[in-house]
Amino acid sequence: SQKIEQNSEALNIQEGKTATLTCNYTNYSPAYLQWYRQDPGRGPVFLLLIRENEKEKRKERLKVTFDTTLKQSLFHITASQPADSATYLCALDQTGGYNKLIFGAGTRLAVHP
């Protein structure tokens, strides 16, 4: 079955450092992958989408890579700030289901001053 794995342990980093989050998937060939931010008790907020034919995408301090051979995406936040503290979810389109997403459980990021 299709499976998405994100590091369930919280990632603690110091302000100003680069945070790197990992998303791995199996039994799957998604057409695109998305990253979302979710704050406690709130719905996810879209951050970036990267397609299968793209290796890297950037948006301000965010960078996403997509390695379809390794079946892995890396999400980077450079010059991290305490306001970046949240849970970050990766999501992939379901096979055969246009725009239907499968989400990972998310990785909680804590940026300390």
For 39, residues 6+ apart whose C-beta sits below 8 A from its C-beta are 45, 86, 87
Contact residue for another protein among 35, 65, 104, 109 (CB under 8 A):
104
| 62 sits near another protein (criterion: CB under 8 A) | no
Determine the size of the site formed for another protein (CB under 8 A): 24
Least CB distance from residue 20 to another protein, whole Å? 20
Site for another protein in 12-51 (CB under 8 A): 32, 34, 36, 41-46, 49
For 91, residues 6+ apart whose C-beta sits below 8 A from its C-beta are 4, 33, 34, 35, 36, 101, 102, 103, 104
Q: Which two tokens stand for residue 111?
A: 């940026």
CB half-sphere exposure, 17, CA atoms < 13 A: 13
Binding range to another protein, per CB under 8 A, among 20-28, 61-69, 73-81, 92-100 = 92-100
Please give the residue ranges that form the binding site for another protein (CB under 8 A): 4, 32, 34, 36, 41-46, 49, 89, 91, 93-94, 97, 99-106
